[in-house]
């Protein structure tokens, strides 16, 4: 039998996790782009530049070594989930990955989103959540004590994608004011379009929307743009916008959001960006796509230096490193 008093395992008084920076993001949920003002955007973009330099020079660091992220994806993902996991790894943090394997979690036993979140938050410091319902992240945030980062809530928003999209435009073209941005594809269900459009409306831009009639930008979003005095134009032909566009933001038709698959079949091959289409575009412009693509951009376009979509993917890593570190008070 042990009689002597146990030596304490940890000298807890010597170290406390403290925020290192007052940044406006510390312990905040990231639910919608509406919460970002220009100051926040500049802050994150500057931090992303630093993350990029660090990753190129060192590969990894230990900025988030004391932190754990739960990555919870109820919908498929390649880029968003793996870039958050990679971001955490490069910053020396840990990840609980509930991504492709959600079918092996208790969700398959019928556990509610809230119960899953209330459980996972016991193990981590921040949760990244993707779910098929609009408003799911906001609901989770209402219950959770740890910050929730919305990684896509159905056809609602995808704020971290919009951050990396805007960061890409700024990095590639040097500025945002004065640009003509054309959004092409599924503007009705495409959450990346909804978030990026809202962010862009803080700048002096003109927006062109190209879609089939059934997939036009939602009315409330369009009205917001008009109220803000943004110059907008709608068309159903890429040829109407290609010559003047500084940014061509192409999106996939969101098959999974259609209740009537016959309607999807009608629009699925609506347009394709080919080298011939690109021949009409300006010399200095960029083509973006949140990816995955399913036929909207021909593979031959990848060799065009104006094709920015894989550089956009890379920027996602730096933006998510910056955001995670900022939310945890370490950037
Ligand atoms: C997008 C998404 O999930 O909304 N993908 C992504 O996060 N890069 C776009 C899409 O699925 O079409």
Helical packing angle, 79-90 and 309-327, nearest 10°: 50
Q: Which of 133, 153, 159, 161 to mutate to test the pocket of ligand 1 (most atoms within 8 A of CB)?
A: 161
Domains present along the chain, CATH in parentheses: 22-157+316-327 (3.40.50.1370), 159-314 (3.40.50.1370)
Tokens of 290: 């949140």
Residue 251 Cα: closest atom of ligand 1? 12
Answer yes or no: 80 catalytic. yes
Alpha-helical runs (H) found in 184-267? 191-200, 219-227, 261-267
CA 254 and chain centroid, separation: 16
- Tell me which DSSP letter residue 230 carries: -
* pLDDT for residue 313: 98
- Assess contact for 246 and 180: CB atoms under 8 A: yes
DSSP string, 151-175: EEETTS--HHHHHHHHHHHHHHHS-
Q: Measured in angstroms, how far is the CA atom of residue 284 from the centroid of ligand 1?
A: 26
Phi-psi region of 264 (alpha: psi -120 to 50; beta: other; left: phi over 0): alpha
The per-residue pLDDT for 162 is: 98
Question: Is 268 close to ligand 1, i.e. is its CB under 6 Å away?
Answer: no
The stretches in the chain having pLDDT less than 50 are none
pLDDT at 102: 72
Q: Which residue minimizes the CA distance to atom 1 of ligand 1?
A: 290
**How high is the pLDDT of residue 111?**
82
User: Rounded to 5 degrees, what angle do the CA atoms 103, 105, 111 make?
Assistant: 100
Catalytic residue among 158, 194, 198, 320: 158
Distance between Cα 104 and ligand 1 center (Å): 23
- 94-98 β-sheet, strand order: 94-98, 68-73, 126-131, 148-153
At residue 101, the pLDDT reads 66
Specify whether 79 is catalytic: yes
- Predicted local confidence at residue 1, as pLDDT: 67
């Amino acid at each position: 039998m042990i009689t002597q008093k146990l030596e304490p395992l940890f000298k807890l008084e010597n170290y406390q996790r403290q925020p290192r920076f007052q940044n406006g993001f510390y312990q905040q949920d990231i639910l919608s782009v509406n919460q970002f003002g220009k100051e926040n955007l500049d802050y994150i973009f500057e931090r992303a530049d630093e993350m990029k330099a660090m990753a190129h020079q060192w590969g990894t660091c230990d900025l988030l070594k004391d932190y754990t992220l739960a990555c919870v994806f109820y919908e498929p993902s390649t880029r968003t989930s793996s870039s958050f996991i990679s971001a955490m790894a490069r910053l020396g943090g840990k990840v609980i990955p509930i991504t492709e394997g959600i079918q092996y979690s208790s969700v398959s036993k019928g556990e509610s989103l809230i119960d899953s979140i209330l459980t996972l938050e016991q193990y981590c410091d921040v949760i990244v959540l993707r779910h098929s319902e609009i408003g799911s992240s906001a609901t989770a945030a209402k219950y959770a004590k740890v910050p929730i980062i919305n990684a896509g809530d159905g056809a609602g928003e995808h704020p971290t994608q919009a951050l990396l999209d805007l960061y890409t435009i700024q990095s590639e073209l040097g500025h945002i004011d004065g640009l003509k941005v054309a959004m092409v594809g599924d503007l009705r269900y495409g959450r990346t379009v909804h978030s990026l459009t809202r962010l862009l409306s803080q700048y002096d831009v003109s927006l062109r929307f190209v879609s089939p009639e059934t997939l036009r930008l939602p009315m409330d979003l369009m009205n917001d743009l008009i109220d803000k005095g943004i110059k907008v134009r709608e068309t159903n032909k890429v040829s109407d916008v290609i010559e003047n566009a500084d940014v061509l933001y192409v999106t996939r038709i969101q098959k999974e959001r259609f209740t009537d698959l016959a309607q999807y079949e009608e629009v699925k091959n609506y347009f394709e960006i080919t080298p011939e289409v690109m021949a009409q575009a300006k010399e200095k412009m960029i083509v973006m796509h949140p990816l995955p693509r399913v036929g909207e951009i021909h593979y031959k376009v990848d060799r065009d230096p104006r094709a920015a979509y894989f550089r956009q993917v890379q920027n996602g890593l730096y933006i998510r490193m910056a955001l995670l570190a900022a939310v945890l008070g370490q950037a």
